[in-house]
Amino acid sequence: MKAFLVRIKDKPAQEITAERLSAREALQSLQVGGLDRVAAVRVNGVPCDLSCDLGNEATLEPIYVHTEEGLGILRHSTAHVMAMAVKELFPGIKVTIGPAIENGFYYDFDYERPLKEDDLPAIEEKMEEIVEADLPFTRQEMSSQEAIGFFSDQGETYKVELIQDLGAESVSLYSQGSFTDLCRGPHIPSTGMIKAFHLTHVAGAYWRGDENRPMLSRVYGVAFSDPKNLKKHLRQLEEAQKRNHVKLGPQLGLFNTYEEIGAGMIVWHPKGAMLRHVLETFEVQEHLKRGYELARGPQLLKTELWKKSGHFENYRENMYFTEVDEQSYGIKPMNCLAHMLIYRSEIRSYRDLPKRYFELGTVHRHERSGVLHGLFRVREFTQDDAHIICTPDQLNGEIKGVLDFVKDIMGFFDFEYDLEISTRPRKSIGSDQDWELATGALIRAMEDNRLEYDMNEGDGAFYGPKIDVKLKDALGRSWQCATIQCDFTLPDKFDLTYVDKDGERHRPVMIHRVILGAVERFIGVLIEHYAGAFPTWLAPVQAVVLTVTDRNIPFAQNVTKGLEDADVRVEGDFRNEKLGFKVREAQVQKIPYMVIIGDKECENNQVTPRLKNGQNLSPMPVKELIDRIKDECEQRR
């Protein structure tokens, strides 16, 4: 018998005598509560299965299934169950990878035909059988050569490729029942711990994201620790589907895509173009109020300039190139180069700084076809891009100013948000010293503003660290939009200088920042946030005038003209249709005000407004309606 010294973190150690001691047995001996809800355990800080054997001394931390970490383990285990079910239902299918993701999991499969939505009920039914069987998850270590032989015998060529790329001497495999997978783990004790899951949809995905590799079938699912949370999430998914901007955009006459034009290229219809105009005009006004100057750069810049900036070396796979008069040009994916040349066009004094250049700049980026999605991922988009060039002493104040700007703008749309600092990526330019200075400046500004933030290691821009702003919409979903990037490197590459008080030339610092981010993406978020029912100030059509009968048309035309003259965005619906039909159409279009004109309105020289939520207002003079709409616009409501 051996003596094991075991403790729960932050509690006194206890001695347990046994031949061998698993983590589960130790937790039982230490009388840890809720053991049936423990998904895995940290042993001396390392996540492990409950079945793992302990050494002579161990500090244990139970990982409960309802925690964020425990849910991740549960969801990954559910992906293994799904893969087992799919293999049993579709003999000869090959499995690839199946990670846990936010709220759920997915697994990619290679089969003689693509998997379809119609396949999901049968897969779910088979998964239920596997869960009911309460099969234990068991781990085994195997040499890489043995594992390659094992998976080769099964025809699992993707697993063989993964093992070969790992280049490790040994790998770990997990099994439940007849299914064995390459996996680091840990996993839940057995399939019976899976209480609530649902398969949601199927999509295509290239193996390893490479469009030159096979197209796989990606099956998505969600999983939670209890049925109540699953039910709540499925209701949210149903609501999200109602708000889906890809459907609402064409339905509301905002935008569309056309195969004849090309993937990732958005065509803005009149209402969508008006929505953009309102949003962009608002943006310009807000920037001018904060001391920004308008700037504009060309779409084509010589490739040599992109080489000088480092974009060609670090970003060219995302760029488009063309040739004019035997000269190579790059179509701009970013707006910063022209802004730096504007700055460099004159000798600048410290008294001139900061310079804040703002541009609603259209850029092009080569996104792979597999990731294109509505307005969220496109190949041509417009950024509310600005570059602030300032002295090092001004840097802290300018970053805080941008953070305040973000707070103000997001308040107009009722967005809450989280903040994250992303640090130097593997592929980057500039010295370690510059990166440390830039990262430190972002951290100081956040702390000076008493803002909470997370660190996201290795995900900065190639020229500098950044603050990412992640919006939370009406359904609590997170969206990346605003970003603030601190850059000591490009000012050096482009020899940007200013004359300081000592009469000498010094190097400024540059802040790259967007507030909304890509206008296209932000509008997509707004559509889903408001479910297409934009507030009055933002709505592309603020009012529609509806007639009851043809004899009301002359007065309705005068009302429409009065609204137009007052700069209300208005349409007239004078068709010979029933009023109820016209009201329903206006409600489907989510127009804030329906202005009803019948005989009584004509007689009393009034209008009867009806709100998009169905509420009828009392009859009122046209001027009162105009004042009401104007007030809502001024209050950004």
Is residue 223 a contact partner of residue 109, using CB atoms and an 8 Å limit? no
Neighbours of 518 (CB within 10 A): 23
Among 512, 529, 590, 612, the active-site one is: 512
Vertex 144, ends 140 and 147: CA angle to 5°? 60
In angstroms, rounded to a whole number, what is the distance separating the alpha carbons of residues 335 and 344? 15
Contacts of 184 (CB under 8 A, 6+ apart): 172
Active site residue 466: yes
Instruction: Give the residue among 319, 281, 277, 327 at the shortest CA–CA distance from 302.
Output: 327
Active site residue 385: yes
Among 336, 390, 481, 486, the active-site one is: 336
Report the b/e string of 181-202 with b at 16+ CB within 10 A.
bbbebbbbbbbebbebbbbbeb
**Which pair of structure tokens corresponds to residue 574?**
């004078």
Is residue 96 a contact partner of residue 216, using CB atoms and an 8 Å limit? yes
Among 384, 385, 434, 573, the active-site one is: 385
In angstroms, rounded to a whole number, what is the distance separating the alpha carbons of residues 300 and 125? 55
Among 80, 364, 377, 466, the active-site one is: 466
Contacts of 150 (CB under 8 A, 6+ apart): 142, 173, 180
In angstroms, rounded to a whole number, what is the distance separating the alpha carbons of residues 108 and 490? 41
Sign of the CA dihedral 265, 268, 272, 277?
A: positive
Is residue 64 a contact partner of residue 11, using CB atoms and an 8 Å limit? no
N residues, the chain: 637
Active site residue 383: yes
Among 76, 80, 332, 387, the active-site one is: 387
Among 75, 243, 271, 365, the active-site one is: 365
Among 383, 485, 542, 589, the active-site one is: 383
> Could you list the active site residues?
336, 365, 383, 385, 387, 466, 512
